Structure 1
Amino acid sequence: MKKLLWWILGIAVVVGVVFGIHGLSSSHNASASHTDTITIGSQGSDYDIWQHIAKSADAKKLGLKITVKQITDGVQLNKATAQGSVDVNAFQSWSYYEAYNQENPKSKLASLGTTYLEPMGIYSKKYKSVKAIPDGATIAIANNPSQAARGLLLLQKAGLITLKKNFGSLGTVKDIKSNPKHLKFKEIDDTTGPRIIKNVDAVLISNTVALEGHLHVLTDSIFHEKVDQSTKDNINILATAAKNKNKASYKKLIKLYHRADIQKYIKDKYYGTKIEVNKPNSYFKN
């Protein structure tokens, strides 16, 4: 009887050990296979890019499960992010983000990091350089306030005008301090730039519109934005609700975006016009 009891006890111990090991193994596998689900809100070409990234092997390697939601209104997209129906958004420049935070102090966002600069360019069918633009020339500029201000800053960088010292993100032609070539400015819908390029001496066109008009900013413009301190406000970022700024899985999205094969895909699809910018948030403070 004693031998039988010891025999039964031995079997119980073995079974317990086996199931214990199996349980630990199952727990480990469940932990290893766990992925964070992140909803990214986006629009336009960024929406297409993040759909590709969501399906990539890179996302899987980093343990990220991504769903992409399209919201075409920027203000609503930022509000959805602040309220939590969107975890992270990918669409806006640093200046747009700062303006939103100033206007919405109770539902602020935080930047997770930088993604790219999409350069604005000066285009002309009549002249091959900005130096060749003559006195009295007509320059077409967007009637969109933020795009117009960006265009004026580009004209200043090109040496065509000088702006007042306090020129801001919503500055206008009234803020021009010096106009030595007596340039004239014609306001246009910023989506019509490629169509009216032959009707003016030069036109300022954002890269998204330029690509739609079969223009390549790096080869077809006579002058364009570069990645430097003068264009830092135009660099795009990933943003999340302020309370989530230190969330590890969200920070992984920046690392994911800058993976070499993801960048190759973006470069090939958009002809190198989305210039990669991998900078810390401190870059904007300088």
Structure 2
Amino acid sequence: MKKSAYWLIGIVVVIIVAAFGIHSISSSHSASSAKSNKITIGSEGSDIDIWKHIAKTDDAKKLGLKITVKNIADGVQLNKATADGDVDVNAFQSWSYYVTYNQQNKSNKLAALGTTYLEPMGIYSKKYKNVKQIPDGATIAIANNPSQAARGLLLLQKAGLITLKKNFGMLGTVKDIKSNPKNIKFKEIDDTTGPRIINDVDAVLISNTVALEGHLHVLTDSIFHEKVDQSTKDNINILATSAKNKNNANYKKLVKLYHKKDIQKYIKDKYYGTKIEVNKPLSYLK
């Protein structure tokens, strides 16, 4: 009788312990799941406003995402914070910026999650209505920022004004110009001053953010601008995370969230259609 009683007590204890263990695992899983729904997005400039808006939308709630937006103005520090896990996902950089960062930080890489938009760079002029009118010996202002200067030179090539060497890279310079049939002269400027010096040169290359701040609309005021094609794929903006989180399901939801119709309407209205949506697979960029 005593042995039977001990045996029954033993079974009860095992069942209770097992039940407690399952409950603990379940609770732990629930807590972990809830925590993974909380995403800190690091950003800068106009992207901060966009993601603060997205965080409050019903779309974010329906996907079960709780988004916090963190402002880190320096791109290198923002990427480092993302790679280190202090920021979950960042939204600020172009594909070329991302590739360059990974090349320089091979032991602490990032992973791209998906594409967001292209902000076209434009060629602006108060003297000429199209690039064909730009005369021999004209002066064109370009950014003294290496990456912006290279982007501008590629745009001038696309416009048919110059030809660049085949190995022209993301940090190419005027020294990499192969052919300059109009003998164009280049004036290096701080890329934030473009709208202010537009009357002092024959043409000036201006990034979209700077153009908007100077009350210029790239789609209507420029005489030539970037379009979404293979020649501009390096300038398409992306969402990025730490390489170890590249398969995080909730982080991937952010890409889907960004491309929701009502969110795109908000972005189009707020930035006058100058942030051109790019919803393409990452293979398009490679």
The TM-score range, normalised by the shorter chain, is 0.7 to 0.9
Residues 1:208 and 2:223 are matched in the alignment? no
| Correspondence for 1:72 | 73
Note if contact 1:120-1:224 (Cα within 8 Å) is conserved in structure 2. yes
| Correspondence for 2:199 | 198
Task: Map 1:147-226; keep pairs closer than 5 Å.
Answer: 147-226=148-227
- In 2, the alpha carbon distance for the partners of 1:58 and 1:80 equals 27
Note if contact 1:34-1:63 (Cα within 8 Å) is conserved in structure 2. no
Unpaired runs of 5+ in structure 2?
Answer: 1-22
| Correspondence for 1:44 | 45
Paired AA for residue 54 in structure 1:
A
> What displacement does 1:97 show?
0.2
> What displacement does 1:256 show?
0.2
> What displacement does 1:34 show?
5.0
- In 2, the alpha carbon distance for the partners of 1:191 and 1:144 equals 10
User: Runs of at least 4 residues of structure 1 off by over 3 A?
Assistant: none
| Correspondence for 1:126 | 127
SS of equivalent residue, structure 2 residue 198:
helix
| Correspondence for 1:88 | 89
What is the percentage of aligned positions where both structures have the same residue? 85
| Correspondence for 1:250 | 251
> What displacement does 1:52 show?
0.4
Q: Could you tell me the TM-score, scaled by structure 1's length?
A: 0.88
- In 2, the alpha carbon distance for the partners of 1:40 and 1:74 equals 13
SS of equivalent residue, structure 2 residue 265:
helix
| Correspondence for 1:9 | none
Aligned length: 257
Paired AA for residue 179 in structure 2:
S
SS of equivalent residue, structure 1 residue 199:
coil
SS of equivalent residue, structure 2 residue 61:
helix
> What displacement does 1:155 show?
0.1
Q: Per-residue displacement from partner, 1:116-136 (whole Å, max 9, x unpaired)?
A: 000000000000000000000
Q: Could you tell me the TM-score, scaled by structure 2's length?
A: 0.88
SS of equivalent residue, structure 2 residue 80:
helix
Q: Per-residue displacement from partner, 1:56-112 (whole Å, max 9, x unpaired)?
A: 111001110000000000000000001101000000000000000000001000000
> What displacement does 1:237 show?
0.1
Unpaired runs of 5+ in structure 1?
Answer: 1-22
